[in-house]
Chain A
Amino acid sequence: MNESLSGYKGRVLDVLVKSKVQVGDLIRINKGDITYEGILIPRSELGDDKHIVIKIRSGYNIGVEVTEETKVTKIGVEKAPAFTPPALPAQKPGLPKVSIISTGGTIASRVDYRTGAVRPAISASDLYSIVPELSDVAAIDTQILFSVFSEDLTPKHWSKLAVTVAEHISQGVDGVVVTHGTDTMGYTAAALSFALRNLPVPVVLVGAQRSEDRPSSDAASNLIGAVSAAAKAPFAEVVVAMHETISDESIVLHRGTKVRKLHTSRRDAFKTVNAQPIAKVLDGQIVKLTDDYLKRDKEKSLILQPKFEEKVALIKFYPGMDSKIIDWHVEAGYKGIIIEGTGLGHVRQAIFHSIKKAIEKGVLVAMASQCIWGRVNMNVYTTGRDLVAMGVVPLQDMLAETALVKIMWILGQTQDKEKAKDLLATNLAYEISSRTVDTN
């Protein structure tokens, strides 16, 4: 693709190439007796091949249709604006050290008002200049690990991320922040919870529900909350830091194995399910919400177990589900299946035989509930009891997504089916709690 004519294609691209203009040029478009002048702007990839987009003098963009009579002339070059960052705030001595690892999206960014492009701020000094409050909280080191959408992350990325976090911890930082797209942040949080055991310092995942280029973005306040937690939270666990409500007040810290994205767009989309969040950050202070946590202790030595088995599936049961779906997974060599059953943990009897066959072939099959809230109990109805008798592992109050990640991680550590089954049913990182209290 033509970089200097980003997004343009077909006939319009031909016209622009012939007219020897590129994005950022001041151009004149003549169409019969109508004339437009403005800066040539990149075209969205999804746009058609009939319009040229220019920014007119008042700052507005308009699309001008290209017809047979359209003539484009370059009349000047708009200077690419040079950015002079404001003076950096003075770095306070003696602050905790925090590493920020970026996995994609952008933590903070600047808009180029000339072309509308959003450019990520990468270096620590960029970050300080955009979110100056950070310089009061911690001495920051940054690393860009991936630049991918969170839905494109795979268990291989989790492994690499776990190794990278471990490297930073081994260098003696007081906490690690991982910036992450929100769509699969819950999965990654669970993955790190299992892959990084006996943590000496906190690992805080953070994202934003409103993009960073807008004044109302939650990115900066979430990031400040995340860095504060990494720098001074009393616990050493994997957590997710996001808005507690739709107000810009408190940033709540959800335990990595208990957190789920429960809304498509709200700032407070993330909730702790079947438990309480560990703490929140309010006015720069950490407010504990429970005393049950693993304590920060730099003397602890981290246990890194970053392997995940990818041949594991999460299958949501629905009325009338075909048993062949289970069969296909078995034949395709899947080693573990989490079923998201109905209610207390049920599926229709018509697929029992397939589940039984899967277990006989050595597939680890476990049951979580599609209700999201509450605990699986497979003793109440016969269907549940029959499934347990076949060898289906009930997963108590574990989130289905956490269960998927956990089984991937277990099968990455051991091939021993019985040991795997035991591990699956055992609480390792607060993913299972033996009692559920009313949190309303």
Chain B
Amino acid sequence: MKVDFSAVGLKVGLECHQQLATKEKLFCACKPDLFKGEPEITFLRRLRPTQSELGQTDPAAYFEFLKGVKILYEADSKTSCLVEMDEEPPHELNREALETALLVSLMTSAEPVDEVHVMRKVVIDGSNTTGFQRTCVVGMNGSIVVDGKTVPIQHISLEEDAARKTGADGLTVRYRIDRLCVPLIEVTTGPVIYSPEEARKVAYAIGRILRATRRVKRGIGTIRQDLNVSISDGALIEIKGVQELDLISQIVEFEVQRQLSLLSIRDELKKRGLSEDEIRDDSADVTSDLAKTGCRVIQKAIGQGKKVFAVKLPKFSGLLGKELIPNLRLGTEMADRARFWGRVGGIIHSDEIASYGLAEDELCLIKRILKVEQQDAFVLVADTEENAFDALRAVTERAREALKGVPEETRGSNPDGTTRYMRPRPGAARMYPETDVPPITISKDYVSRLRSQLPEPLEKTVERLIKKYGLNEKLARQLQDSEYVAVFDELVERTKVSPTFIAATLTETFKALKRDGVEVDKVTDDQLIGVFELLGLEKTSKEAIPEIITWLTKNESSSPSEAIKALGLSIISEQELSNVVDEIIRNNEDAVRTKGEGALGFLMGVVMKKYRGKVKPDQVNAVLKERLSKLKKKSLH
């Protein structure tokens, strides 16, 4: 589908979140690291939606509270203390993080605020033990220029990252609090981005500014974008947690397409003459009618003592199965809702019922019970009565919304660029002061001192990389857009390795390794320095680098020298090399005799095949040459 994005009135705003590489977390002295394996500490909590003066509660959160949702938090003592457990008041705001946020403000021409006030933003899905996220605006009213267009930056904020969800089991949701309180910078643009490609470019531009501070974390999950996407006549959709910048344009495109498809369904429903009150919540218990069904899913549910309920969706026939974007149908959207509100595994709808193995007479019976006619659709759910009831209510609610067009909601991004329903959009942000953290005055002197030592903007970095290190432009640009630009200078300075080789390793080699599924993000700066130091000291060879990196990703706390030892990739001594060469010449006497010095290339291949990574090619070459010329002399005499 080719879409004219300006004709549909596309508007995109970005909220770019980047974790900072501080020594400590935002409000306590814990290391901002994640832990693996079994948690040392667990505790169970319930969050109670507080009512605002406006009488608003977050409807989804209130619903979850009423259902008795509990949160099981997981922690270990290295990565969290009583502060993250909400058992101790926050300490003061981390000054290192604040300084980085101020730098970013100045780099985006934003005005630092005179006094920073930490706020509590109410979030009660369990991702914050307190029930709110601590956040503060540090800079306002900035702008950046992307491809000649000025994009306003509304806020630069500093906030704590949330706990990460590790699972759910019935009414108990599990979160791990190691990530909680890790400092994040949030950069919010105005909703003035008008095409999917522009959204991607703006995200890259912001990413470059953040990386230019040299104070941000790298790796999976350290940068996350939220996209606010709307089209005229559609709705404002908040898409959360986009981790791959290159996916942004695809996500925006899909979202436009999804909204347009929903609008055409709306038009079709109107054409069919559907009115809202025709969609009724009344569901029918059809458990006994399906008692002997051959449908496996239903059979299994009934076997577990669950019940089957059905609801009619008038005039929806054929529309539930209509694809909105690849792999997403209106039926999928209803199933997502049913899962969220009804905690069910899924739904069965009439547009896809053929694949479920229900007998013709069973279908007739259901249709008769629901009074389903030609244009009507129906939905089945098999679960406990309570869950099925909630699920079908969510389905009919979504059906009513289909008649109106696009419902406002918060969606999560999938790795293929599609999105899924997460929750209804929360009302206006409910924020109130974090009285446990005193406001911080930002003095004019401090700001002007920071202004005088702003980091080099990344556009300048390309020039410098070319000039200072002799990189070619392509490599310099790749490095600038990689997450390794911050550590590159140090690698060059501390090792005697060629800058071009280092740059190529950090970009091309790493990209290739990533494609092969190697999690190169796991290798720390210190490990990288160690690897190139060994190379500089000729303790290993260039050819060995990919293997060493791969090994390090699997042995995270080990050193590069341990990698070399474990892989047997140490450079062999000159004496050893000369023995090796002698042996190879002996084993290939015929070739040497017939080709003489012409056997060099062949022998080189034999040595390298056997000793790749343990020998330096030029050294092998030299030794081989020397031996061959000696042999030649010998044979001449």
Q: Which A residues fall within an 8 A CB radius of B? A: 34, 36, 41, 44, 46-48, 50-51, 53, 55-56, 58-65, 81, 83-86, 110-114, 116, 119, 129-130, 210, 213-217, 220-221, 245-249, 264-267
B53 A112 Cβ-Cβ under 8 A = yes
How long is the Cα–Cα vector from A58 to B154 in the complex, in angstroms?
10
Per-residue CB proximity of B123-148 to A under 8 Å, as 1/0? 01000011110011100110000000
Which B residues lie within 8 Å of A245 (CB)?
43
A81 B431 Cβ-Cβ under 8 A = no
Does residue B263 face the partner (Cβ distance < 8 Å to A)? no
Q: Would A215 and B43 be within 8 Å (CB), given that A63-B116, A110-B50, A113-B432 are in contact?
A: no
How long is the Cα–Cα vector from A248 to B73 in the complex, in angstroms?
12
Residue of B nearest to A111 (CB): B432
Per-residue CB proximity of B434-455 to A under 8 Å, as 1/0? 0100110100000000000000
Which A residues lie within 8 Å of B43 (CB)?
245-247
Does residue B288 face the partner (Cβ distance < 8 Å to A)? no
Does residue B472 face the partner (Cβ distance < 8 Å to A)? no
Q: Which of B86, B155, B428, B433 contacts A216 (CB 8 A)?
A: B86
Does residue B493 face the partner (Cβ distance < 8 Å to A)? no
B119 A60 Cβ-Cβ under 8 A = yes
Residue of B nearest to A31 (CB): B114
Which A residues lie within 8 Å of B89 (CB)?
265
- What are 16 sample pairs from A and B whose C-beta atoms fall under 8 A apart? A53-B439, A56-B140, A60-B135, A60-B157, A61-B431, A62-B117, A62-B140, A63-B441, A64-B115, A215-B48, A215-B50, A215-B131, A245-B43, A246-B87, A247-B44, A248-B45
Determine how close the nearest CB of chain B comes to the CB of A76; give it in whole angstroms: 17
CB within 8 Å of A: which of B491-506? none
Determine how close the nearest CB of chain A comes to the CB of B173; give it in whole angstroms: 14
How long is the Cα–Cα vector from A41 to B431 in the complex, in angstroms?
13
Residue of A nearest to B443 (CB): A65
Determine how close the nearest CB of chain B comes to the CB of A120; give it in whole angstroms: 13
A58 B429 Cβ-Cβ under 8 A = yes
Q: Which of A34, A63, A84, A247 contacts B115 (CB 8 A)?
A: A63
Determine how close the nearest CB of chain A comes to the CB of B77; give it in whole angstroms: 14
Which A residues lie within 8 Å of B129 (CB)?
216
How long is the Cα–Cα vector from A86 to B54 in the complex, in angstroms?
11
B114 A111 Cβ-Cβ under 8 A = no
Q: Would A113 and B430 be within 8 Å (CB), given that A83-B54, A216-B86 are in contact?
A: yes
Does residue B390 face the partner (Cβ distance < 8 Å to A)? no
Determine how close the nearest CB of chain B comes to the CB of A63; give it in whole angstroms: 2
Q: Which of A47, A50, A63, A217 contacts B48 (CB 8 A)?
A: A217
For the complex, count residues of B whose C-beta is within 8 A of A.
53
Determine how close the nearest CB of chain A comes to the CB of B60; give it in whole angstroms: 13
Which B residues lie within 8 Å of A63 (CB)?
113-117, 439, 441
Does residue B205 face the partner (Cβ distance < 8 Å to A)? no
Q: Which of B55, B82, B87, B111 contacts A34 (CB 8 A)?
A: B111
Q: Would A81 and B54 be within 8 Å (CB), given that A213-B432, A246-B87, A249-B44 are in contact?
A: yes
Residue of B nearest to A265 (CB): B88
Q: Which of B49, B87, B114, B140 contacts A267 (CB 8 A)?
A: B87
B117 A113 Cβ-Cβ under 8 A = no
Residue of B nearest to A60 (CB): B137
How long is the Cα–Cα vector from A315 to B70 in the complex, in angstroms?
46
Does residue B374 face the partner (Cβ distance < 8 Å to A)? no
B130 A110 Cβ-Cβ under 8 A = no
Q: Would A56 and B137 be within 8 Å (CB), given that A51-B114, A215-B50 are in contact?
A: yes
B52 A111 Cβ-Cβ under 8 A = yes
Q: Which of B44, B70, B130, B430 contacts A59 (CB 8 A)?
A: B430
Q: Which of B51, B140, B157, B438 contacts A110 (CB 8 A)?
A: B51
Does residue B46 face the partner (Cβ distance < 8 Å to A)? yes
B53 A113 Cβ-Cβ under 8 A = yes
Which B residues lie within 8 Å of A110 (CB)?
50-53
How long is the Cα–Cα vector from A264 to B83 in the complex, in angstroms?
13
Which A residues lie within 8 Å of B113 (CB)?
62-64
B119 A114 Cβ-Cβ under 8 A = no
A111 B53 Cβ-Cβ under 8 A = yes
A59 B82 Cβ-Cβ under 8 A = no
A65 B115 Cβ-Cβ under 8 A = yes
Does residue B85 face the partner (Cβ distance < 8 Å to A)? yes
How long is the Cα–Cα vector from A130 to B429 in the complex, in angstroms?
20
B431 A60 Cβ-Cβ under 8 A = yes
Residue of A nearest to B430 (CB): A113
A48 B117 Cβ-Cβ under 8 A = no
How long is the Cα–Cα vector from A192 to B124 in the complex, in angstroms?
38
How long is the Cα–Cα vector from A166 to B293 in the complex, in angstroms?
67
Which B residues lie within 8 Å of A51 (CB)?
114-115, 439, 441
Known: A111-B432, A113-B52. 9 other contacts (CB 8 A): A59-B430, A63-B114, A65-B115, A110-B53, A111-B53, A112-B52, A214-B131, A214-B132, A215-B50
Does residue B217 face the partner (Cβ distance < 8 Å to A)? no
**For the complex of A and B, 10 pairs with smallest distance between CB atoms:** A63-B115, A215-B131, A65-B114, A61-B117, A59-B431, A247-B44, A81-B53, A215-B47, A116-B433, A62-B113
> Which of A36, A111, A221 has the most chain B CB atoms inside 10 A of its CB?
A111
CB within 8 Å of A: which of B101-128? 111, 113-117, 119-122, 124
Q: Which of A85, A119, A266 contacts B55 (CB 8 A)?
A: A85
B82 A265 Cβ-Cβ under 8 A = yes
Determine how close the nearest CB of chain A comes to the CB of B405; give it in whole angstroms: 27
Residue of A nearest to B51 (CB): A110
Q: Would A215 and B137 be within 8 Å (CB), given that A51-B441, A60-B119, A62-B115 are in contact?
A: no
A248 B441 Cβ-Cβ under 8 A = no
B432 A116 Cβ-Cβ under 8 A = yes
Which A residues lie within 8 Å of B439 (CB)?
44, 47, 51, 53, 63
A60 B53 Cβ-Cβ under 8 A = no
How long is the Cα–Cα vector from A98 to B429 in the complex, in angstroms?
37
B441 A48 Cβ-Cβ under 8 A = yes
Determine how close the nearest CB of chain A comes to the CB of B399; give it in whole angstroms: 27
Q: Would A215 and B122 be within 8 Å (CB), given that A63-B116, A249-B44 are in contact?
A: yes
B45 A247 Cβ-Cβ under 8 A = yes
Which B residues lie within 8 Å of A112 (CB)?
52-53, 432
Which A residues lie within 8 Å of B428 (CB)?
59
Determine how close the nearest CB of chain A comes to the CB of B7; give it in whole angstroms: 30
Which A residues lie within 8 Å of B111 (CB)?
34
Determine how close the nearest CB of chain A comes to the CB of B3; give it in whole angstroms: 31
Determine how close the nearest CB of chain B comes to the CB of A183; give it in whole angstroms: 14
Which B residues lie within 8 Å of A48 (CB)?
441
How long is the Cα–Cα vector from A264 to B130 in the complex, in angstroms?
17
B121 A215 Cβ-Cβ under 8 A = no
A216 B130 Cβ-Cβ under 8 A = yes
How long is the Cα–Cα vector from A50 to B154 in the complex, in angstroms?
25
A46 B438 Cβ-Cβ under 8 A = yes
Determine how close the nearest CB of chain A comes to the CB of B84; give it in whole angstroms: 12
B49 A215 Cβ-Cβ under 8 A = yes
How long is the Cα–Cα vector from A130 to B45 in the complex, in angstroms?
18
Determine how close the nearest CB of chain A comes to the CB of B110; give it in whole angstroms: 11
Q: Which of B48, B115, B435 contacts A220 (CB 8 A)?
A: B48
Which A residues lie within 8 Å of B44 (CB)?
247-249
Which B residues lie within 8 Å of A60 (CB)?
117, 119, 135-137, 155, 157, 431
B55 A83 Cβ-Cβ under 8 A = yes
Which B residues lie within 8 Å of A213 (CB)?
50, 432
B157 A61 Cβ-Cβ under 8 A = no
Determine how close the nearest CB of chain B comes to the CB of A211; give it in whole angstroms: 8
Which B residues lie within 8 Å of A65 (CB)?
114-115
Per-residue CB proximity of B393-406 to A under 8 Å, as 1/0? 00000000000000
